[in-house]
Amino acid sequence: MAAFGRMLLYVACVVVMLSKMAAAASSAKPNCPNWCGNVEIPYPFGTTENCYLNDNYFINCSNSQPLWENHFVTNISIQGELEISMFIARQCFRDSSGVPVVDNNKHSLTSRTFTISNTKNQFVAVGCDTYAYLNAYRNNEYFRIGCMSICQSLRNVVNASCSGIGCCHVDIPTGLKNFTLEVHSYNNHTNVSKFNPCSSAFMIKQDYESKFSSAYLEEILLKPNDTFPMVLDWAIGNETCETGRRKPDYVCGQNSACYDSKNGDGYRCKCNKGYEGNPYLHEGCQDINECLQVPKPCHAKAKCMNTHGSFSCTCREDYKGDGKMNGTGCSPKVSHFKIIIIALIAISIGLMVLFVGGSSLYCGLKRRKLFKLKEKFFQQNGGLLLQQKLSNDRTSMQAVKIFSIGELEKATNNYDESRVLGQGSYGTVYKGVLQDNKLVAIKKSKFCDQNQIEQFINEVIVLSQINHRNVVKLLGCCLETEVPSLVYEFITNGTLSNHIHDKVLSSSLSWEKRLKIAIDTAGALAYMHFSTSMPIIHRDVKPANILLNDNYSAKVSDFGASRLVPLDQTQLLTLVQGTLGYLDPEYFHSSQLTEKSDVYSFGVVVAELLTGRKAISFDGLEIDRNLAMYFSSAVKEDRLRQILVDDLVSDGNIYEINKVANLVKRCLSVKGEDRPTMKDMAMELDGLRSMEKHQSGKAYLCTEETDYCVTAPAVHYFNIGVNDGCSSTSTSTTVGYKISMRTQVSKPLDDDR
Ligand SMILES: *[C@@H]1O[C@H](CO)[C@@H](O)[C@H](O)[C@H]1NC(C)=O
Ligand SMILES: *[C@@H]1O[C@H](CO)[C@@H](O)[C@H](O)[C@H]1NC(C)=O
Ligand SMILES: *[C@@H]1O[C@H](CO)[C@@H](O)[C@H](O)[C@H]1NC(C)=O
Ligand SMILES: *[C@@H]1O[C@H](CO)[C@@H](O)[C@H](O)[C@H]1NC(C)=O
Ligand SMILES: *[C@@H]1O[C@H](CO)[C@@H](O)[C@H](O)[C@H]1NC(C)=O
Ligand SMILES: *[C@@H]1O[C@H](CO)[C@@H](O)[C@H](O)[C@H]1NC(C)=O
Ligand SMILES: *[C@@H]1O[C@H](CO)[C@@H](O)[C@H](O)[C@H]1NC(C)=O
Ligand SMILES: *[C@@H]1O[C@H](CO)[C@@H](O)[C@H](O)[C@H]1NC(C)=O
Ligand SMILES: *[C@@H]1O[C@H](CO)[C@@H](O)[C@H](O)[C@H]1NC(C)=O
């Protein structure tokens, strides 16, 4: 729990991104597809009937690739640009015969409505025996522009500069709607085909020069239909704002303004200041909540209020100024003088009033101050953020509860000492009783890093959604104290550490119970590693963090030091954290955190269960102090029986104990890659239990063994689609026994909700 404040950047990023994506409004018409392939299609464009403004804005998406007038669309911006792929006109010669091997020397673009962007495109011709031109119409008059390039070697060609040697370019006039581009050679490349076989011409988005190099001239560009991106300016209709606005089909929506297109006809729409979204939709422009922006628009001592299209800042009571970050901000009021006068008047009005009303006044003031303090802490601790996330996400709303400070004080009888369950460097754990008589454990941390609050909030949400019977459930948190408190479900029977090392308790810990505890723990860890939306590494697996309930079900607790790992990330470089004796030596040396570190710690825990020895003991020979080494060498040298807990071995179980000991030895491998995964461990251990049931003669019937069946841990990854009940499939035989192995769980995974 020491690292409550220290949080998980990766998760935070992912969660924030996801929530942003979810929150972003669609830019298509309601109920219309917003994407075609990986291109966003904003209204007035659309891919299906009634989704586009008129035929000019139709995008053909029948092959999941956006096509506009037979050209591939690569980007559509709401600011009025349509980026398409335009063919390259090209003519190539291989020898001096004069017969071109590639002859695509003419391409045209026909646009009835949109205009070729004159600012974003250039017409470019490349080659050493080349001339190219562009035929076009403007105001129904034909015109032709073009350029030529002749060179005899590559010596004078300057890279990244379309300078006229090997490459020439022409600017595009405004108002151009359709064109044909053509490329030709003077001498069929007769004397240059060795280093420049092709002439080519194309329209291209203006970043061409950065791509141009002498290598272009040398390349034999034989690919039949290469394209380059070019930009069209789109607008609505062929009228100005002034006339468009008076028409019934005027498209600009609420909170938007109209402006005339600079290149070609028609008008465009734009959201007003303080709004964002698609201005072409009726309710497309949505208010921007400036209060949530980074950097914050208001001073730290001011309260931010979002208004339609704007925001306001109000300094707190004892501060003055306009509160805006760009304005005067907030500064403390210099009103000591006033306070003194008021105080003097108050005194002179009468000590009597003070006497009579004194006590009640004092109480009132104190309560008020306390209230303000609570509010301050709540905000500091990310309360607003959490509330916002919760309201965005219904499922976590049920999972996390935000407790008030009063509720927790009442639950713990004002943090009474008799309620303390445990204490450590991280803080104190109290037993609490909620109003509905539910028992809870309340973890009050000592410190918290204010910079990590957002990540902290995200972890609260992630952990509280985990609902596994062998993981202690996080019920909620309280943010009104200086350092946040966390509320967990209460586990009745104390820690596993206590049960192993207490003489009386350990004597009632039979082999079956020990095996069950190992299985439960393995199941919980396998679940955290493999079945959550993102792998979660515990980092501090030890008996003190495993709690038992009355029927010896184990529950893994204290994910305070845990790390959530994004799926594409198998190793994390971290500050080494954990408990000596349980700490993975590989992780200790390399700081590379993987799931295998938990596997090592789990191995030590099971070794402790088998031997009853502490992970580090200070009696005996030095070489035997480390339980992991002691245990591994005992198994290797076949001395296992000597180190087991007294009375553990009985006739029936030595096979199982041996099997478990060998599994533990693999977990304790020095190299992480030699260790099994938690999934393997859970499977192997569970197999043993099934065998035990079989051996003891009980018929394996799901309906009877509800505890085992309904929510059996660890085996959920067998889930292969059947989840309508319990069924068992027998799979393999070992040492003559038929092992029946359960292959699915009856309950859908909790995190799938
Ligand atoms: C869309 O393009 C496909 C070919 O890619 C064509 O067969 C189909 O007719 C087009 N649909 C429309 C509505 O133009
Ligand atoms: C599309 O164009 C917009 C605006 O010009 C730009 O911000 C965005 O990065 C482009 N998207 C792609 C995929 O090129
Ligand atoms: C180029 O080739 C054509 C035949 O394709 C030929 O008629 C013409 O004379 C050639 N020109 C030169 C300069 O070689
Ligand atoms: C381009 O448009 C003009 C009318 O503005 C038309 O006469 C001409 O044929 C068109 N050119 C092509 C190649 O479509
Ligand atoms: C131009 O770039 C090409 C590769 O892009 C390189 O081989 C050539 O040497 C460069 N020429 C000059 C003059 O920098
Ligand atoms: C090709 O080069 C030769 C020798 O340099 C020259 O005589 C001939 O006229 C050139 N041909 C053309 C078509 O330029
Ligand atoms: C290349 O483009 C031209 C003109 O758009 C077209 O006629 C031709 O069929 C295309 N060739 C291939 C191989 O796609
Ligand atoms: C404007 O567009 C309408 C139809 O969209 C057309 O009837 C009209 O002739 C166009 N006007 C001009 C000046 O191009
Ligand atoms: C504050 O001013 C800067 C530059 O003067 C500007 O870039 C920034 O957007 C302004 N911030 C707000 C919140 O108005």
Question: What would the 3-class secondary structure string for 364-422 be?
Answer: HHHHHHHHHHHHHHHHHCCHHHHHHHHHHCHHHHHHCEEECHHHHHHHCCCCCHHHEEE
More confident: 472 or 735: 472
Report residues whose beta carbon is within 6 angstroms of any ligand 3 atom: 98-99, 187-188, 190
Asked if 284 and 27 count as a contact pair (C-beta separation under 8 A), the reply is yes
Query: Which class would CATH give 379-487?
Result: alpha beta
- pLDDT (mean) for 336-341: 72
Q: Which atom of ligand 1 is nearest to the CA of 60?
A: 1
Q: Whose CA is nearest to atom 12 of ligand 1?
A: 60
End-to-end CA distance of the chain: 28
| CB 746 near ligand 5, within 6 Å | no
Residue-wise pLDDT for 507-529, tens only, equals 888 888 899 999 999 999 999 88
Ligand lying closest to the C-alpha of residue 69:
1
Residue-wise pLDDT for 532-585, tens only, equals 777 888 888 889 889 998 888 999 887 665 556 655 556 666 666 677 888 888
The Cα 751–Cα 749 span in angstroms is: 6
Ligand lying closest to the C-alpha of residue 326:
9
Where exactly does CATH 1.10.510.10 map onto the chain? 511-712
- pLDDT (mean) for 171-198: 90
Where exactly does CATH 3.30.200.20 map onto the chain? 379-487
Ligand lying closest to the C-alpha of residue 161:
5
- pLDDT (mean) for 92-104: 82
Q: Closest by alpha carbon to 200, among 179, 184, 178, 177?
A: 184
- What pLDDT does 571 receive? 61
Inter-CA distances, 388 with 8, 379, 457, 463, 516, Å: 20, 12, 11, 18, 41
For residue 164, which amino acid is it? G
- 240: pLDDT strictly greater than 50: yes
| CB 650 near ligand 7, within 6 Å | no
Using most ligand atoms within 8 A of CB, pick from 178, 180, 238 the residue to mutate for ligand 4: 178
For the domain spanning 511-712, the CATH number is 1.10.510.10
Helix (H) or strand (E) holding 336: helix 336-349
For residue 692, which amino acid is it? E
Most confident range, picked from 87-101, 271-285, 557-571: 271-285
CA of 83 to the centre of ligand 2 (A): 9
Using most ligand atoms within 8 A of CB, pick from 72, 85, 104 the residue to mutate for ligand 7: 104
- What pLDDT does 342 receive? 74
Asked if 169 and 189 count as a contact pair (C-beta separation under 8 A), the reply is no
For residue 510, which amino acid is it? S
Evaluate if pTM is beyond 0.85: no
| CB 152 near ligand 6, within 6 Å | no
Q: Closest by alpha carbon to 212, among 138, 140, 126?
A: 126
Q: What tokens does 81 get?
A: 């640009």
Q: Which one of 393, 540, 584, 750 is the catalytic residue?
A: 540
pLDDT band at 393; cut points 50, 70, 90: low
- pLDDT (mean) for 596-620: 87
Q: Which atom of ligand 9 is nearest to the CA of 325?
A: 13
The Cα 715–Cα 710 span in angstroms is: 11
Residues 6 or more apart whose CB falls under 8 angstroms from that of 534 comprise 11, 14, 462, 564, 565, 566, 567
Q: Whose CA is nearest to atom 11 of ligand 3?
A: 187
Task: Specify binding-site residues for ATP.
Answer: 444
For residue 480, which amino acid is it? E
- 231: pLDDT strictly greater than 60: yes
- What pLDDT does 563 receive? 58
Determine whether 95 is an active site residue: no
- Do the strands 401-403 and 420-424 form a parallel or antiparallel pair, or are they unpaired? unpaired
What is the DSSP track for 57-117?
A: GB-B-TTSS-EETTEEEEEEETTTEEEEEEEPEEEEESSTT--EEEEE-EEEEE-SS-EE-
Query: Whole-number mean pLDDT of the chain?
Result: 78
- 268: pLDDT strictly greater than 70: yes
pLDDT band at 130; cut points 50, 70, 90: very high
The Cα 562–Cα 456 span in angstroms is: 12
